[in-house]
Amino acid sequence: MQDKELILKLDSIVKVFPGVKALDGVQLEVRAGEVHALCGENGAGKSTLMKIISGAQSYTSGKIIMEGEEVVFHSTKDAERRGIAMIYQEFNMVRDLSVAENMYLGRLPKTKLGMVDWKKLYQDAQEVLNKLGLKFNCKTKVRNLSVAESQMTEIAKCLTIGAKVIIMDEPTAALTDDEIKVLFGIIDELKKKNIAILYISHRMDEIFQISDRLTVFRDGKYIATKNIEDTDYDDVVSMMVGRNVTNLYPVRQYQPQEVVFELQNINSKGIFDLNMKLYKGEILGIAGLLGSGNIELSKVIYGALPMKHGDILINGKKKDCSSPIKAIAAGIGFISDDRKQEGLVLIRNVKENISMSSLKKLTKGIQLDKKLEKKRVNDQVKRLNIKISSIQQNTGNLSGGNQQKVVFAKVLEANPTICIFDEPTRGVDVGAKAEIYTIMDQLTKDGKSIILISSDLPELIGMSDRVLIMREGKIVMEVSKSEANQEIILAHASGGVSENE
């Protein structure tokens, strides 16, 4: 491996967002023909780094050196021209055009008359598909492809633009086991063609299966680069987590109490006959990989997604939670995993965002009681330690941690007894994380119960009193706090262990 040439080198890259240093002097060396995995927890800076490499985002300082030459990318087009292509989690394709057209979008071959040379287009496209061993026709519309097939098309497209480095961000997240095998086969093909692959995945087993080297990031800092033979799972995890875990999570003193919330035979899209119980004052973690149905379940309970059938019981009584309005009235609070799209109105101020779920309570007669509103909002700001210059500030200008605290304030303002938190610390810096954990601990002491859904396993284990593991829309395992560890959760969540074992 060592003798392979260096193709891409990043040197002390710094990226500052308002209020957060997302990357702090990061370095990375990529060699031709290697699969280089990037490891790190959420918020470690992997995605930001990838966006910088692919030209989607600018950086504050540092150098990018491609094939011995310093380069600056102003756009993804720039990066593509230099041979760096990214395959996004959400695919960037025109769904109503054919595979071939998508592969050559913006670069369609032309005849002398200036018309599209369809014959050449289809010939070239099919040739690339065949080379990769793909079995679908290049004239198929992208709309009719499976997720895996559209991903393969993206990879084929990277080949047509002559990519030397291909970035794959969680490429297996939406794939089945068989499709993953095909993808890995293709990655092997790409390696043989001397193409470097930057591979991001949360699935540790995959990283050890296919990568040659890996680089670990933590809290925006470079930690280490290692050959895959020289490291093991525990080593990588300890590098990823690094910090003193016990300080981050409050010591939970949960004493079993009565059941306050129960789901009976919940059925919905991707969720099958699900039953669970939640106890008063408990933090119940629900673990699961992408597509396991845990996020969907939380939205079904809150009425944001339709439920086919099933019952939701609060304090033993059936409640109608078919819409967020009804769910809030029944005492359920919900924090979405996507605060920018589903949590906040970014163009409105902190005050309006915080009182959004409790407008009825703040109305006296026909008009809003603005004095009461201001008092309540200020109380929440103080209680949650939200750092803002004024409650008139737009939420769009706040840092991730403060934005998330505004979402917390909004939900708590509606005074729920059951709180569902999806990825409550996604994109939040470590300091704010610890504060959010303390808030959660305090909430349970006040008699509220929390359902915590997180892909950040240390967080899930650190905070939960009990962990349910979901896979393919079902709960496959329940572990208590003392038994919970990353291996058990990952093994059951990925289906590595059959239920009888």
Partner 1 sequence: MLPEVSVKMNKSIKKKLIYQVNVFRSVFILLTICVFATFFSPDFLSVPNLFNVLKQITVAGIVGCGMTFVILTGGIDLSVGSIVGLAGVLSAGVLASTGNPVLAVLTAVGVGIICGAANGFFISQCGIPPFIATLGMMTLLRGCILVYTKGSPIPIKLDTYKFIGKGNIIGIPVPVIILILLLLLAHYILTQTAFGRSVYAFGGNREASRLSGISVKKTEWKVYIINGLLCGIAAIVLTARLGSAQSTSGEGIEMDAIAAVILGGTSLSGGVGFVLPTVVGAMIMGIIDNILTLMNVNPHATNIVKGAVILIAVLVDKKVKDLSAKAEQ
**Of 333 and 473, CB closest to partner 1:** 333
d(CA 307, CA 321): 9
Query: Which residue, 239, 175, 232, 241, is CA-closest to 42?
Result: 241
**Of 150 and 402, CB closest to partner 1:** 402
Shortest distance, CB of residue 294 to partner 1, whole angstroms? 17
Q: Taking the alpha carbons of 122, 128, 131, 133 in that order, is the dihedral positive or negative?
A: negative
**Which residues contact partner 1 (rule: CB under 8 A)?**
18, 302, 304, 324-325, 327-328, 334, 336, 341-348, 352, 355-357, 359-360, 362-363, 366-368, 370, 397, 410, 414
Shortest distance, CB of residue 185 to partner 1, whole angstroms? 39
d(CA 313, CA 315): 6
Amino acid, res. 272: F
Shortest distance, CB of residue 394 to partner 1, whole angstroms? 9
Element containing residue 165 per DSSP (H, E):
strand 165-169
**Of 113 and 366, CB closest to partner 1:** 366
Contact 440, 463 (CB under 8 A): yes
Contact 54, 167 (CB under 8 A): yes
Amino acid, res. 306: P
Shortest distance, CB of residue 306 to partner 1, whole angstroms? 13
Both structure tokens of 115: 């018309």
Sheet with strand 69-71: strands edge to edge: 20-31, 6-17, 61-66, 69-71
Element containing residue 39 per DSSP (H, E):
strand 35-39
Which distant-in-sequence residues (6+ apart) come within 8 Å of 487 by Cβ?
Answer: none
SS (H, E, C) 217-247: EECCEEEEEEEHHHCCHHHHHHHHHCCCHHH
Shortest distance, CB of residue 148 to partner 1, whole angstroms? 28
d(CA 130, CA 163): 18
Q: Contacts by 372-381 with C-beta closer than 8 Å and gap 24+?
A: 376/413, 377/350, 377/351, 377/409, 377/413, 380/354, 380/409, 380/412, 380/413, 381/350, 381/354, 381/409
Shortest distance, CB of residue 453 to partner 1, whole angstroms? 15
Contact 368, 440 (CB under 8 A): no
